[in-house]
Structure 1
Amino acid sequence: MKTVVTNPVLRMDYPDPEVIRVGDSFYMTTTSTHFMPGVPIMKSKDLKNWEVISYLYDTFSDCEAHKLENGKSIYGAGAWATSMRYHKGKYYVCFNCNDRKQTYIYCTENIEDGVWQRSVIKGMHHDPSLLFDTDGRVYLVYGNGTIWIQELEENCSDIRQDGIHQILIDTPQVEGLNCEGSHFQYIDGKYYLFLIQWPKGRRRIQWCYRSDTLLGAYEGRILLDDCMEYGNEGVAQGGVFDTPAGEWYAMLFQDRGAVGRCPVLVRVTWKDGWPELGRKGKVEKQLEVDLEENLHISKKGESKSLHIPQQMDSMWEWNHNPDKDAFSVAERKGWLRLKNKNPASELERARNILTLRTIEPWCCGEVLLDTEGMKENELAGCAAFQNTYGYIGIRIGNSGARTIVQGICEDHRKDGTAIVREESLEEIKGKKVYLRIIFDFRERRDRAWFEYSEDNEIWKAGKRYLQMNYQLEHFAGYRFALFSFGEENQEGYADFQFLAMEQKEK
């Protein structure tokens, strides 16, 4: 039986995807930037239904920037463009960290439940790709415009001091984004290097270079220049892989506005030793794969209702490293408690913001907030979270009054702090309130609407909507976020229940 896959495969922000197959299972990793735990590891049996089975790390640095301390942050940095390989019974995941100026390689024998061992390679290796060559030697291929090759020790623990280190290819220079996003593979006696390029005034395009020898002469060509009839946003960046039946595919991504960059499955055929992507150069919006649909892989990525019970759901991630002493899912059964132990001047500086990817074409995130434990001048609620953000929540006044407020980030100062316009909506008598944000990505509207209710029946709208805008300062799609903080260390807390993200198809 065949499975019908509709593109984008996941209608959420999973950028720079890397897919490998081991046996009859497919595994995918993606960029995670400043969110923790980081580098989601996803599994599928049919290339349609994907599940987050684990993460590469809980955190990978304890520095001030990773903890949002002393005005420092890693927004838009962190882990970028992973490379994943399976070699001699072990899984390897590699990425470059822009803020730490280092390259990290993780290794495990059990990708689903195993312990990852980490090696740190000094220096920047932009968008690195791992290659285990047929003679047992190991290489990193990386770069922007000029693509380099660097030999590693066979166990990937460090750079091999007497090894190869040289330019592999000088790609055509363009005004805009030069070739990067390396995916280096050895297939049927040839070396293939897949790259992305984004010339100014055009869309992203997919390149491929090939050679009969590792360091030999490479010839290149454009493999794909198509936008899938979506806003001239090119589909590109990724390697290729096969199925047990011998079909070939590529998992690339496409910019989809404020929701982020979404994975796109592209058919691959071979002609004269060259991979050909799509059907007559076009990405199919729907395609059949020769795999039986596997409903046993839970569709967490497109779940109609995502909840946090006693244990944290695998789809939720913290913004930067969490303070483990400032949250609990056990102190009050069935509730998430966020404790205000870390003073912050505004939302982007607040620790322990818990986030969930939004879903196109539109979706609605809801939460029940209990403010009984909050103290004066503290703010808690939910947000449409990116560099330009909006929120709705409750602010506790000097007299203990509870006021529904809505805030919109309108700009940023030179020091990076947000300029927020906050408006009072209504003072409430109770201590609990339902909050929700409606994210509308239909026809690229990219708007977020804010609502509140005291009884979960009669809903009232905020005064303004947020015009969402994907910005490189965060380099991530908009997320539904839960937060609680104060400007002073008063150590109140907020409790959250009935967490849900409902996807809307129309």
Structure 2
Amino acid sequence: MNMEKNTTSQTNESQVMKTASSYIIPADFPDPDIILVDDTYYMVSTTMHFMPGCVILRSYNLVNWEHAAYVFDELEPTPGQTLKDNKGVYGKGMWAACLRHHNGKFYITFVANDTHKTYLYTADEIEGPWIKSEIKGFFHDMSLLFDDDGRVYCVSGNMNIHLTEMEPDLSGPKDGGINKVIIQDNPENVILGYEGSHIYKINGKYYIFFIHMPKGKMRTQACFVSDKIDGPYTGKDVLCSDLAGWNSGTAQGGIVQANNGNWYSIVFQDHGALGRIPVLVPVKFVDDFPIFGAAGFAPKQISVPDNRPDYEYKPLYSNDFTNPAWQWNHIPDKNLTSVNSSTFTVKTDKTCINVVQASNTLTQRTFTEHCSGKVTVNASEINEGDITGLCALEGEYGFIGITKKDGKLLLITAEHKIPYTPWSMGVYDTEKPVIISEKEISTSEITLKATFNLEHTKENVQFSYFDNESGEYVNFGEPVKLRYTLDQFVGVRFALFCYSTEKAGGKATFKEFKLELL
């Protein structure tokens, strides 16, 4: 993105300012990239294997956000992305998109680590329709720059950062164009090498931001600058900062200049089982080099100009099954589902052994460290061996549900744990969940509840059910411990599921979901 820096350093006193926590969205929206078009900010975030995918949010003040669009309903109907292979593309799918607006058109680029392709989507309006094409080559964590001479560049890679000049139509690398390594990290000194590129041209200089993790440090934001697109680049770490005692760093994201001339960055912080949550950090330029926060530390609170102070934002969570807050776990077969605002019905067409392999599961992010979700499940049409219910879904998951065994309905809670395996992205689950509580029930319809405590070091979910006799919710089993793992690479979600272990064709209906912030 080519931007001439506004040298105004003082806030316009006539502008309404908003002060808020630097944790702008307490939910799993990782790998942010951000732009400003007129008075509107747009932010794209990674959605991995969830469909529809590549979510774009909208804001007028950088603090409050609402859903603007999904870029695609489905990416590629492969056996993995449809879960027909009972493996899926967990830890893969679309990653770290680049969002740009150039000559009146929106551009989205990203790679998918299961298809090994680089995708380009373009649209005249942020809501779409988005036109899909492919870029020849594979450009990990890519970032685009439309330079003022009409040339287009891509910065990408891990450890070794590549500059690639692209064809004007972005179909692929330009024949005879620049193609070189411009920045290298030292593998002896880091756990995670430079990646997550974000490139900008500001006042004639080229700036590239990265995430990396030096040995002995948390995740860190770095910046390199050059007078020429192909270097030489010089730089250093600009943000090595914890928030709320998570010791996980705030890094990887873009920068944007507000209409009053001030600069801001949105990065993310690993926040345990809640996921990777966006953090807003002020940026100022001193001697043409960016300083993040206060001397390289992220503040707990931040003041920002509000372009539409009276605007009412729609929440990023919803009790309406047709709301975009809900996403499918992988590409669904909509012939097997029925959805309206209050009811979701799903029928099975295969057998499998766990929730992770179950097709047509409907999910929604957890929101804040303390929230709960409840839903009424009707299991009157499940088959022998079927399991249906409410899951706290991530790599290590738990659920409460109903199963049929020897013709009887049982209420059960279950959990699944995995060994600690760092950097184990894309490992698929082949184990049955472990049932930790069960009891026979006399009704096929019951209201289930999941209550989350996602505070640091606590991170668990307590399952319960509504007892008609007492008129209260009754805890069922001990709290299930949750942990963010890289096999799925996402924060924990509410998930409504039904799967068959013996015979396909069972059906379950969910109604009246309610998410509450506690």
2:380 corresponds in structure 1 to 372
1:145 to 126, 135, 159: 159
Give % identity: 35
Q: Distance in 2 between matches of 1:430 and 1:349?
A: 27
- Please give the secondary structure, in 1, of the residue aligned with 2:417: strand
Contact 1:119–1:156 (CA<8 Å) still a contact in 2?
no
Contact 1:49–1:297 (CA<8 Å) still a contact in 2?
no
Q: Distance in 1 between matches of 2:52 and 2:332?
A: 9
1:458 corresponds in structure 2 to 472
1:363 aligns with 2:371: yes
Contact 1:35–1:318 (CA<8 Å) still a contact in 2?
yes
2:243 corresponds in structure 1 to 228
Decide which moves more: 159-168 or 62-71: 159-168
Give the C-alpha shift of residue 424 in structure 1.
4.5
Give the C-alpha shift of residue 429 in structure 1.
1.5
1:389 to 397, 400, 413: 397
- Please give the secondary structure, in 2, of the residue aligned with 1:355: strand
Give the C-alpha shift of residue 131 in structure 1.
0.9
Assess, with a 3 A threshold, how the Cα gap between structure 1 residues 431 and 10 changes in structure 2: closer, same or farther.
same
Q: How does 1:240-389 map to 2 (within 5 A)?
A: 240-292=255-307, 294=309, 296-301=311-316, 303=317, 306-308=318-320, 312-329=322-339, 334-389=342-397
- Please give the secondary structure, in 2, of the residue aligned with 1:352: coil
1:218 to 211, 230, 233: 233
Give the C-alpha shift of residue 93 in structure 1.
0.7
Contact 1:411–1:420 (CA<8 Å) still a contact in 2?
no
Amino acid of the structure 2 residue aligned with 1:121: I
2:93 corresponds in structure 1 to 78
Amino acid of the structure 2 residue aligned with 1:484: C
Q: Distance in 1 between matches of 2:276 and 2:504?
A: 39
2:222 corresponds in structure 1 to 207
Decide which moves more: 173-182 or 74-83: 173-182
Decide which moves more: 348-357 or 413-422: 413-422
Per-residue CA deviations over 1:116-166 (Å, capped at 9, x if unaligned) read: 112212432111111111111111110111100112221222332332211
1:500 corresponds in structure 2 to 514
Unaligned runs of 5+ in 1: none
Contact 1:205–1:236 (CA<8 Å) still a contact in 2?
yes
Contact 1:367–1:496 (CA<8 Å) still a contact in 2?
yes
1:471 to 476, 480, 485: 485
- Please give the secondary structure, in 2, of the residue aligned with 1:348: helix
1:405 to 412, 415, 425: 412
1:89 corresponds in structure 2 to 104
Give the C-alpha shift of residue 375 in structure 1.
2.4
Q: Distance in 2 between matches of 1:201 and 1:62?
A: 42
Give the C-alpha shift of residue 202 in structure 1.
1.5
Amino acid of the structure 1 residue aligned with 2:172: D
Q: Distance in 1 between matches of 2:277 and 2:308?
A: 21
2:176 corresponds in structure 1 to 162
Amino acid of the structure 1 residue aligned with 2:301: Q
1:5 aligns with 2:20: yes
The number of residues matched between the two structures is 495
Give the C-alpha shift of residue 292 in structure 1.
4.8
Amino acid of the structure 1 residue aligned with 2:462: W
Give the C-alpha shift of residue 492 in structure 1.
2.1
1:54 corresponds in structure 2 to 69
- Please give the secondary structure, in 2, of the residue aligned with 1:325: helix
Assess, with a 3 A threshold, how the Cα gap between structure 1 residues 141 and 491 changes in structure 2: closer, same or farther.
same
Q: Distance in 2 between matches of 1:103 and 1:500?
A: 38
Q: Distance in 1 between matches of 2:262 and 2:217?
A: 31
Amino acid of the structure 2 residue aligned with 1:338: V
- Please give the secondary structure, in 2, of the residue aligned with 1:371: strand
Decide which moves more: 198-207 or 484-493: 484-493
Decide which moves more: 445-454 or 120-129: 120-129
- Please give the secondary structure, in 1, of the residue aligned with 2:81: helix
Contact 1:405–1:423 (CA<8 Å) still a contact in 2?
yes
Give the C-alpha shift of residue 418 in structure 1.
2.2
Contact 2:246–2:456 (CA<8 Å) still a contact in 1?
no
The CA RMSD over aligned residues, in Å, is 1.8
- Please give the secondary structure, in 1, of the residue aligned with 2:356: helix
Assess, with a 3 A threshold, how the Cα gap between structure 1 residues 454 and 123 changes in structure 2: closer, same or farther.
farther
Contact 2:388–2:497 (CA<8 Å) still a contact in 1?
yes
Q: Distance in 2 between matches of 1:238 and 1:253?
A: 7
2:44 corresponds in structure 1 to 29
Give the C-alpha shift of residue 244 in structure 1.
1.1
Amino acid of the structure 1 residue aligned with 2:320: I
Question: TM-score if structure 2 supplies the norm length?
Answer: 0.92
Q: Distance in 2 between matches of 1:293 and 1:106?
A: 29
Q: Distance in 1 between matches of 2:377 and 2:432?
A: 25
Contact 1:85–1:130 (CA<8 Å) still a contact in 2?
yes
Per-residue CA deviations over 1:373-408 (Å, capped at 9, x if unaligned) read: 222221110101011111101102232x22101111
2:203 corresponds in structure 1 to 188
Contact 2:86–2:358 (CA<8 Å) still a contact in 1?
no
Give the C-alpha shift of residue 415 in structure 1.
7.3
Unaligned runs of 5+ in 2: 1-15, 422-426
2:444 to 407, 431, 435: 431
Question: TM-score if structure 1 supplies the norm length?
Answer: 0.94
Contact 2:39–2:307 (CA<8 Å) still a contact in 1?
no
Q: Distance in 2 between matches of 1:214 and 1:460?
A: 62
Amino acid of the structure 2 residue aligned with 1:265: L
- Please give the secondary structure, in 1, of the residue aligned with 2:472: coil
Q: Distance in 2 between matches of 1:366 and 1:204?
A: 36
